Homo-oligomer: A and B are copies of this chain.
Amino acid sequence: MTAQKAYKDLKNRMKEIAILSSTGSVLHWDREAYLPRKADDHRAEQLAQIRRLMHEWFTDAQVGEWLAAVEGSSLMADREAEAAVNVREWRRMYNEETKLPSEFVQEFTRVTTKATGIWAEARRKADFGLFGPTLETIVDLCRRRADYVGYTTEKYDALLNHFEPGARSADVEKAFAGLRTDLVELVGKIKDAPRKPDIGILKRPWDVARQRLFSESIAAAIGYDFDSGRFDLVTHPCCNDLGPHDTRILTRYYPGDFAEGLTSAVHEAGHALYEMSRTDKTHWGTPMHETASLGIHESQSRTWENIVGRSRQFWVYFFPQLQRVFHQETAGVTLDDFYGAMNWVSPSYIRVEADEATYCLHVMLRFELERAIIAGDLEAADIPGEWNRRFKEYLGIEVDNDANGCLQDIHWAHGAFGYFPTYALGNLYAAQFWQKAQKDLPGLTADFEQGKFDRLLGWLKDNIHSRGASYFAAELCERVTGAPLSHKPLLDYLYDKYTEIYGITRGK
C-alpha cells in the first residue's frame, strides 16, 4: 500500500464519517428545535445508531493501517501541508477513541444519561446532596477516562484536551492566576464607582416579535448568511453546524430583558461566522476545514457579542435604527444611556447571565474545583462549601442555595469535566486577537460607526477561520498575535471601556 493510496482511502472514509456526522447534527438540531414530545425515545435510537456506525467506521483496524502508512511517508514532511495536518489530527482522535474500551464507553453513556435527570431534580430542589453520590461516580469515570487516554503531567490534562487539544492545565492556571486577581480588583472598583448606568431601560417590556426581527437584521449586518442558515426559537440558545452551508442558530427573546435576547443572538452568530466564513468547501470533512478548539470557537462568539456588539461605535450606528423599531421602549433614552445599560456590571449567581467583567470569575472558580476533584484533592461532598467560599472571595456575594451555586450548570452531569476553562480561554483569545486586529487595521472601530464589519470579518477569516485545525490553539495564538496567551489584553480592553462608563481609574 503506497502512502498516497492510503491517504486517499483515509480521506474517503473520513468524508463518509463526516457526512454521517452531519446527518446526526440534523437529528440533534431537530431534537432541540422541533421534535414532538413523545418522539424523544426514538430520536435517541436514531442518534445511537449513527454514533455506533461512526465509531465502527472510525476505529476500524484499517484506519490504523492507513494512518501508519501515511505517517511513515514523505507526505508528513511539511507539517502545514494538508496530509500532515489531517493525519496528525486523525491520529490524535483515533488514539483517543481506540483507547477507550467499549464497555467503558457504554457505562459512561449509561451513567451520564441517568445523571441528567438526577441533576435536574437536585437543582429543582436546590439540594446538592441528591446529586452528590452520582457526581462521585462520574468523577471516578472521568479519572478512569484520563487513565485510558493517557497524560504526561496530570490527569486533568487528558480531559481538558478532549475540548482544547494540546492545552496544558499548568499553562491555563498561569493565564488565569493574574486574570483572577485583576478582575476581582476591577469588580471591586466598579462596585464603588462614582457613576453607574441605569439598567432599568433594558427591563422595560420590549416587544418580542420586534426583538426577533432586529436581532436577525443585526446578524445579517455582521455577515451571517441567511441562505446558509436560519434562526429558530428555543429555550437554550446555541449554534448548530449541520453541514456545508447549513449553520443554524437557536435562540429566544424575553420581553423584560432586551440585552439577553440580542447578545445571545449575536454571540451565536459569532460562532456561526467561524463556520460560514470558510466558503471554500474543498477540505470539508477533514481537520483542514475544522475549527481549532472550543476556546478559539468561543473567542469568535465573544468577539462579536462583546467587543463588537457592546461597543460604543456599534451603537452609534445601530441606536438610531433601534429607536425607529422600538418607539415606545426607547422613549427618553439617549445613546449614552443605552450604551451604559448594555455594559452594566454587577456580580450575580448565574454564569450564563453574568456580565463581561464577572463572567471569567465564574469559570475560573469551576476550573479550580474541577482540577482539584480530578486530582483527588477535593471530595464531591465538599464541593458546595468550597464553591460558596470561593464565590464570596471572588464575587463578593454569599451563595444562598446550591441551585444558585454549584448545581447551576449541566456540564458535570454530562461528564464534561475539562469543558469549562474553554469559556474563559475564549475571552482571553478574543481580546488578544482584537488587540492585534486593531494594530493591523487602522481605524477599525470607526468602521462600526458606518455599520461596516467586513474588514474585521476578513481579518478573522484570514488569520483564524481559514487555518482550520492546522494548529493547536496556543500555537495559533502565537502565530496570529506574535505572543503567547496573556490576560493583559482583556484587562486593557475592559478598563478602556469601564473607565469611561463608570468613571473608575486603573491602578491603586
Contacts and interface: CB of A to CB of B under 8 A. Distances in A.
A34 B49 CA distance: 24
B39 A20 contact: no
B26 A45 contact: no
Contact of A243 (B16, B20, B39): B39
A236 interface: no
A248 B30 CA distance: 12
A440 interface: no
Given A36-B228, A39-B228, A226-B36, A16 B246 contact: no
Contacts of A45: 19
A243 B38 contact: no
A477 B443 CA distance: 78
A42 B20 CA distance: 11
Given A26-B27, A27-B23, A228 B38 contact: yes
A19 B42 CA distance: 8
A15 to B, nearest CB: 9
Contacts of A49: 16, 19-20, 23
A271 to B, nearest CB: 16
A338 B1 CA distance: 76
A242 interface: yes
A117 B185 CA distance: 65
Contact of A36 (B39, B43, B50, B230): B230
A37 interface: yes
Interface residues of A, number: 34
Interface string A231-245: 010000000001111
A227 B27 contact: no
A245 B39 contact: yes
Contacts of A102: none
A23 B30 CA distance: 11
Nearest to A52: B16
A422 B228 CA distance: 38
Nearest to A22: B46
B39 A23 contact: no
A378 interface: no
B26 A30 contact: yes
A451 interface: no
Given A46-B23, A49-B23, A36 B244 contact: no
Contacts of A242: 39
Nearest to A23: B46
A39 B248 CA distance: 11
A37 B227 contact: yes
Interface string A208-234: 000000000000000001111110100
A410 interface: no
A77 interface: no
B34 A22 contact: no
Nearest to A29: B30
Contacts of A22: 42, 46
A339 B27 CA distance: 43
A68 interface: no
A366 B380 CA distance: 72
B230 A34 contact: yes
A35 interface: yes
A26 B225 CA distance: 23
Given A19-B49, A23-B50, 4 more contacts: A35-B246, A36-B229, A41-B244, A46-B243
28 contacts: A19-B45, A19-B46, A20-B49, A22-B42, A22-B46, A23-B50, A26-B26, A26-B27, A26-B30, A30-B30, A34-B232, A35-B246, A36-B226, A36-B227, A36-B228, A36-B229, A36-B230, A36-B245, A36-B248, A37-B227, A38-B228, A39-B228, A39-B242, A39-B245, A41-B244, A42-B245, A43-B243, A46-B243
Complex A-B, nearest 5 residue pairs according to Cβ-Cβ distance, in ascending order: A39-B246, A38-B245, A39-B245, A42-B243, A37-B227
